[in-house]
Each structure stands twice: as structure tokens, then as C-alpha cells.
Amino acid sequence: MSHLTVRIWRGADEGEFQDFSVPMRENQTVLDVVSEVQRTQDQSLSYRFACRVGVCGSCAMVVNGKPRWTCRTHIRSLKSSVVTIAPLRNMPRIKDLVTDMSGFIDKWGKAGNVFESQRDRGDAPALVDPSSPMRKVADAAIECINCGVCHAACDVVSWNDAYLGPAALNRAWSLVNDERHSGKKETMMAAMGDGGCGNCHSQGNCMAACPIGLSPTRSIAGLKKMSLMSLLGGSDA
């Protein structure tokens, strides 16, 4: 049986890659490999996962240079007998493959992503037509589960500490297109603030990396258009 060489990051911001060897199997994901190492070879290895079926985003790591969901990355798709596994980029490292996502979550908030409504429990539910143009725009961006892969993929995030990042801005776009949201103007101002959409250079790494095919570049372009409109037509959202 042939073997797979697995290089796993150990330590925090300071540390090094440690080599392990696991048997190559017919059906094997990167998460399987990490789990096998932790359970049978080194119980001190730290990593995150939850659903292991590609819906929660917890197992995101950098595999052979690319940020991805490890439960959805088959070893055979990597076409290599050496697999390098590192924690997500652009986040401080806590231990081994575990990163501190609080900065990522903070930026999510800073992009104006708190839903506000003028309705209360006494009002009837809002009737949002799913086929309305605005809802379609929001729906195209709404499925984000904050896995952090796009944040890890984005070079502007690594170059500019103030930049809120593709995930945060993508959510802001979905909120400003939510007809129920009464804080559209505040969200827009936050998304167009100094760490906002103007910093995006349309490199497209986020789109290429998103495990569910979202397009933060598209959402950010929408925010950029909105900023142009607000400048031309006054400051109405």
C-alpha cells in the first residue's frame, strides 16, 4: 500500500511543518487524513471540524497553498503524494490548524452587518417577493456561512489591515438589498467607509476560492456602483 506524506503546521505564528505518513486510501479527504493523524499518531494536534459533510465550513484550512474545506477536498484531486496543510491565512494562529477568527467576525460587524427592522412581533410577517429584482440580488449573496476561506484567499486582506474583506462586504451587499432592513443607509456607509469596498482590486481570488460559488467581487462591485450613485444623486441609500 502506498503512503501519503502529510506536512502539517505545528505551533502558532511561530512554529514549523511536521511530517507524518498515512496510508493512501481509495476514498480519502484531507479531513480524514488530519483526523487519522490526530487519533493514531499525535493526539496533541489541534484542528477544527464539525459536520464533515460540507455544510458548516468549520474545517477550512490551507491545503497545498489554497484555502478550502478539507472535508470536501479529496486527496486524489490534489494529484500529489505530498499534502501540505496549514491554518487559514490572514488570521492569527492559536494552535496548529486552529486560527483566531475574532478579527474576521469583528470586520463582519464593522461592515454594518447588523439587521435592523422597524417591525415588531405585533406586525404581520414581511412579505418579500422572491422573484423581485432586489431579492434576487440579495439571494445571490445570501448563502455565506462565514467560513473564512475568501478572507484567507484575499491578498488585499493580507496587505491592508483596515480592509474589511470579501465576506463582510458580501454580507453588507445582501443587507442593503434586503427590503426589510431599515438600516440600509448605515450599512452602506459602513461598507463604503475607509476599510470598505473601494479597497477591492477585483483580483477574484475570493470567487475562485469560495466553496459554494459565491462572488464577493460581484457584491463589492454592486457596492461600488452604489457609492457612485450616492455621490451623483445625493446621500440617499
By CB under 8 A, name the binding residues for another protein.
62, 65-67, 86, 89, 155-156, 158-160, 189, 192-199, 201-205, 207-209, 215, 217-218, 221-222, 224-225, 227-228, 231
Query: In sequence order, which residues have a C-beta less than 8 Å from that of residue 210 and are 6 or more positions away?
Result: 149, 150, 216
For residue 144, the SS3 value is coil
Nearer to another protein, 54 or 204 (CB): 204
In degrees, to the nearest 5, what angle opens at C-alpha 163 toward C-alphas 162 and 164?
A: 110
Contacts 24+ apart (CB under 8 A), 180-187: 180/115, 180/117, 180/119, 180/126, 180/128, 181/115, 181/116, 181/117, 182/116, 182/117, 182/118, 183/112, 183/114, 183/115, 183/116, 184/237, 185/235, 185/236, 185/237, 186/112, 186/116, 187/111, 187/112, 187/113
- H-run or E-run covering 11: strand 3-11
* Least spacing, CB of residue 11 vs another protein, in Å: 17
* Least spacing, CB of residue 162 vs another protein, in Å: 8
* Chain length of the chain: 237
* Least spacing, CB of residue 137 vs another protein, in Å: 10
Nearer to another protein, 36 or 64 (CB): 64
* Least spacing, CB of residue 157 vs another protein, in Å: 11
Nearer to another protein, 103 or 193 (CB): 193
For residue 68, the SS3 value is strand
Nearer to another protein, 55 or 208 (CB): 208
* Least spacing, CB of residue 142 vs another protein, in Å: 16
CA gyration radius for the chain? 20
Nearer to another protein, 15 or 198 (CB): 198
* Least spacing, CB of residue 121 vs another protein, in Å: 37
For residue 82, the SS3 value is strand
Nearer to another protein, 98 or 207 (CB): 207
* Least spacing, CB of residue 41 vs another protein, in Å: 25
Nearer to another protein, 65 or 125 (CB): 65
- What is Dmax (Cα atoms) for the chain? 69
DSSP-based helix, strand, coil % in the chain, nearest 5: 40, 15, 45
